[in-house]
Amino acid sequence: MSAVDDYIENQEEGVQPILQSIRETVIANAPDAIEKFAWRMPTYWQGENLVHFAAFKKHIGLYPGANAVSHFADRLEGYKTSKGAIQLPLSKPIDLVLVADIVRWRVAQTIGKKNR
């Protein structure tokens, strides 16, 4: 069992399937990323950190970095955001299409940096 498995298993029972869905979405959209546990949260690395996520009492924190938050600003209206973080409230369904789009964008960014 990995540290990410342990992390998900140690969260509230109702949040576990949400975290697993986010995990599966990240993996599906960043298949070459390495899953690790950093800063006390699941982290996906592909030449650099792509995205992290973490469970909180009322939301899931998604951390794709400041450039992603800025790039997706129009689609993040209605979400609480900060420089590199997005709060996905547990009071409504998690938009996994948005998560997938952000992850794919982050992968493209890291590949673009590699090819410069």
Q: What is the pLDDT of residue 114?
A: 63
Question: Minimal CA–CA distance to 103: which of 17, 37, 28, 38?
Answer: 28
Which residue type, as a one-letter code, is found at position 67? N
Q: What is the pLDDT of residue 15?
A: 98
- Give the span between the Cα atoms of 68 and 30, in whole angstroms: 15
Which residue type, as a one-letter code, is found at position 39? W
Which residue type, as a one-letter code, is found at position 38? A
Stretches in the chain below the pLDDT threshold 50: none
What are phi and psi for residue 67, nearest 5 degrees?
A: -65, -40
Q: What is the pLDDT of residue 115?
A: 62
3-114 has which fold? Aspartate Aminotransferase, domain 1 (3.90.1150)
CB proximity list for 100: less than 8 A, separation 6 or greater: 25, 28, 29
0.85 surpassed by pTM: yes
- Give the span between the Cα atoms of 25 and 60, in whole angstroms: 14
Q: What is the pLDDT of residue 48?
A: 94
